[in-house]
Amino acid sequence: MINSKNKLILAGLCMLCMLGMNAQEKVIDRIIAVVGNNYILQSDLENQYQQMLASGEPVNENTRCKLMEELLYQKLLLAQAQKDSLDVSEGQIEQELERRMRYYLQKFGSEEKFTEFYGKSVEDYKLELKDDVRELLLEQQMQSKISEGITVTPNDVKEYYNAIPKDSIPFVNAEVEVGQIMKKPSITPEAKKEAKTKIEGLRLRILKGEATFAAMAGLYSMDPGSASKGGVYEGIQRGQFVPEWDAWAFKLKKGELSEVFETVYGYFIIQLIERRGEEVDARSLLISPSVDANDMYRAKLMLDTTYLRLLADTASFSDIAARYSDDEDSKNSGGLIVNPYTGSTRFQMDEIGQFDQTIAFAIDNLKVGEFTKPMPCSTQDGKQAYRILYLKTRTLPHVANLVDDYQNIQNAALSEKQQKAIQAWIKKKSSDMYVHLADDFKNCTFNNKWIN
């Protein structure tokens, strides 16, 4: 069975599976299965089938039967959630709807193209999708209840690994774990005052009508995402930007100009163009405090001292990173950089290159346990800083083993144990629940017995 996270993604993708495809023969919809008080339509099945075709996944004569079993499982989860009186909040539903709409709008490129394709506004589409999202979240919650509390012991992991046929043990690409200690140059009070005075002057010129917001943003804004467009940001959802930006954008009236406000990036002013529920179009102007060569030099000197401490082995890398690094993400994981693609601290070599090419070059000649000297880098917000990189582990391409790949094998063992629990749950609940299948699906070979 697919897990609940992938199921939510798949359901969202199915809404877009017809994009770029030629017109197809219209199918008359019908009910093809009933589970409890919930039914499955022919269109539900066909949408998932067409999505598989569009994504290039292999299909065969049994594909529709496999998809039908997934849909039966989802409806069984929903029926049991309803029976157990599970519930999801309006906030959870709204959050999921917003996530989906951001995905859809990114695919279409603009809200106008979305509306043109569907013949309805984003808000109308969200309203239609609301019940489906509520059901999916209930199914997700029910599946979590089935697998909650399931764990694996080291002995379970070992037994799982030993049970894999020798010729079926997966091959693992070269992987690395990399740590960093970053030091950002200090912003002096004088630099902050200068930046604030400058943006206050620009705001005053806009208010007096001496210049337009677009002209001032184009000439002076230090925001690379909007300066070339006259400061314009379109389709910004609540939560995409820093909280201070959101606070102003979602309380301004159309055409109104904000006060000067401070963020981690520097000082902003914004002007609301239009608001549509939890989405805004706005002009934005940023002035960041300047960092001079002396500030950068002081940051490097601090890391020079840190580098000598590391060489002298007077403290561990993780301890120094936790105490002194200015990178909030890595300092909380012992200085190790977290792989955004997997959530672990391990990167395959092609992943580390995609994440940050300078890291890939810097660690190329390092031995495990070695550090780079302080080197310049760019932070996620585009500012200059210095950092020391540390190569904690490096594994060569190899057949998976319990020493180098324990975490991955542990996850696989846990997944198998959870799947067995799900199979047992389906066997018990499907015998207690009313299930009806259309005649043309009764000859399907399912993994579970759905009709008693």
What is residue 291's predicted lDDT score, i.e. its pLDDT? 83
Quote the strand ranges of 36-174, DSSP E: 38-41, 171-172
Q: What is the CATH number of domain 174-186+292-396?
A: 3.10.50.40
Sign of the CA dihedral with 5 first, then 148, 89, and 77 last? positive
Q: Give yes or no for residue 7 having a pLDDT over 80.
A: no
Given a contact cutoff of 8 angstroms between Cβ atoms, the answer to whether 157 and 409 are in contact is yes
Structure confidence by residue, pLDDT tens digits, 133-167: 999 999 999 999 998 889 999 999 999 999 999 99
d(CA 267, CA 290) in angstroms, rounded, equals 12
**What does each C-alpha distance from 209 to 204, 205, 260 come to in angstroms?**
9, 6, 17
Asked if 48 and 13 touch (Cβ cutoff 8 Å), the reply is no
**pLDDT at residue 444 tops 70:** yes
Check if the beta carbon of residue 223 is closer than 8 Å to that of residue 293. no
Q: How far is CA 126 from the centre of its chain?
A: 21
At 19, the pLDDT band (50, 70, 90 cuts) reads: very low
Query: In the numeric block, which tokens belong to residue 341?
Result: 């693609």
- pLDDT computed for residue 267 by the predictor: 95
Report yes or no: 222 and 286 within 8 Å, Cβ to Cβ.
yes
What local confidence, expressed as pLDDT, does residue 91 receive? 81
What is the average pLDDT across 332-347?
86
pLDDT of residue 199: 96
What percent of the chain has pLDDT above 70?
Answer: 93
SS (H, E, C) 327-357: CHHHHCCCCECCCCCCCCCCEEHHHHHHHCH
List beta partners, residue 172: 398
Share of the chain above pLDDT 90, in %: 50
Other Cβ atoms less than 10 A from the Cβ of 53: the count is: 13
Record the tokens describing residue 367, joined without a space.
């031995």
Query: Helices 122-147 and 90-108, interaxial angle, to 10°?
Result: 120
Lowest mean pLDDT among 112-121, 188-197, 251-260: 112-121
CATH topology of domain 4-152+414-441: Triger factor/SurA peptide-binding fold (1.10.4030)
Instruction: Specify the higher pLDDT residue, 94 or 153.
Output: 153
**Which tens digit of pLDDT belongs to each residue from 258-307?**
999 999 889 999 999 998 877 889 999 999 998 888 888 989 999 999 99
Nearest to 114 by CA among 229, 200, 16: 16
CA atoms within 13 A on the CB side of 323: 8
Task: Report residue 439 as tokens.
Answer: 């005649």
Q: What pLDDT shows up at residue 6?
A: 44
What's the rounded Cα separation, in Å, for the pair 164 and 413? 11
Chain position carrying tokens 């210095």 = 386
Of 38, 59, 37, the C-alpha closest to 48 is 59
Choose between 13 and 450: higher pLDDT: 450
Residue 15 has pLDDT above 50, yes or no: no
Q: How far is CA 183 from CA 150, 159, 329, in A?
A: 41, 45, 13
Mean pLDDT (the chain, rounded): 87
Question: Cα(336)–Cα(175) distance, rounded to whole angstroms?
Answer: 14
How far apart CA 274 and CA 10 sit, in angstroms, is 32
287: phi then psi, degrees, rounded to nearest 5: -120, 115
- Distance, CA of 131 to CA of 135 (rounded, Å): 6
Does residue 216 sit in helix, strand or coil?
helix
Determine which helix (DSSP H) or strand (DSSP E) holds 444, and give its type and residue range.
none
Topology annotation, domain 189-287: Chitinase A; domain 3 (3.10.50)
| DSSP at 402 | T
Intrachain domains 174-186+292-396 and 189-287 with the same fold: yes
Taking alpha carbons only, the member of 178, 221, 121, 153 closest to residue 410 is 153
**Quick one: pLDDT at residue 381?**
67
Measured between alpha carbons, how far is 178 from 391 in angstroms, rounded to an integer? 5
Element (DSSP H or E) covering residue 386: strand 384-395
Model pLDDT, residue 337: 92
pTM comes to 0.55
Residue 142 and residue 316 in contact, taking contact as beta carbons nearer than 8 Å: no
365-421 residue pLDDT tens: 899 999 999 999 888 767 789 999 999 999 889 999 998 888 889 989 999 999 999
Q: Where are the domains of the chain?
A: 4-152+414-441, 174-186+292-396, 189-287
Q: Which of 272, 258, 119, 140 is nearest to 199 (CA)?
A: 258
